[in-house]
Amino acid sequence: MFDFVKTVLIALPKGFYTTFKHLFKKPVTLQYPKEKMPMAPRYRGLHYLEKYEDGSERCVCCGLCASACPADAIYMEPAENEKGERYSEVYEINLLRCIYCGFCEEACPEEAIFLGHEYEFSNDSRDAFIYTKGQMLANRPTKEKPFKKIIRKVRRIF
């Protein structure tokens, strides 16, 4: 009986006061397609392939990313250009297999592949998720990932 009275006289008004307080707080809703969350710098989204300053590709088709890939998502075919440098003729990532772990980025000795910040790439056909080299090169962000320099420094140590 005492408990009941306590509930009615103390707990109930307290509860009502709590919700009332929250009525005047600013909503936390993000109007998604219009506004977007700022991504963390290390966010792992859609991949892109990096180029040298002179515009040639960094990737030498060594296959380390493919062997590091736990999801077996990367497929490549090597070729040589007229200067005798290896490059990848075909370089595909199956985005439906990929788990966005970032191991490829870590394995790459040439700092060629990176995971970008893009995450809106839904599509309605499965074929569209085979992500080709051309797309990956085109996907390079104009701004460098802020921590890329750090990655390079760390790589030089090991």
Of the candidates 58, 132, 46, 45, the one whose C-alpha atom is nearest the C-alpha of residue 91 is: 132
Determine, following the binding rule CB under 6 A, whether residue 100 of this chain makes contact with ligand SF4. yes
CA-CA distance, 84 to 18, in Å (whole number)?
Answer: 72
CA-CA distance, 7 to 14, in Å (whole number)?
Answer: 10
Determine, following the binding rule CB under 8 A, whether residue 4 of this chain makes contact with another protein. yes
Single residue of 62, 130, 137, 151 touching ligand SF4 by CB under 6 A: 62
How deeply is 92 buried, as exposed, middle or buried, from its count of CB atoms within 10 A (0-12, 13-18, 19+)?
middle
Single residue of 43, 68, 75, 140 touching ligand SF4 by CB under 6 A: 68
Q: Which tokens go with 40? A: 């963390």
CA-CA distance, 156 to 151, in Å (whole number)?
Answer: 9
Determine, following the binding rule CB under 6 A, whether residue 136 of this chain makes contact with ligand SF4. no
Determine, following the binding rule CB under 8 A, whether residue 125 of this chain makes contact with another protein. no
Single residue of 6, 9, 10, 16 touching another protein by CB under 8 A: 16
CA-CA distance, 116 to 31, in Å (whole number)?
Answer: 23
Question: CB 37 → another protein: shortest distance, Å?
Answer: 16
Single residue of 13, 32, 43, 61 touching ligand SF4 by CB under 6 A: 61
SS3 assignment, position 113: strand
Binding residues for another protein, per CB under 8 A?
A: 4, 15-16, 18-20, 22-23, 25-29
Binding residues for ligand SF4, per CB under 6 A?
A: 59-65, 68-71, 73-74, 76, 93, 98-104, 107-108, 110, 112-113
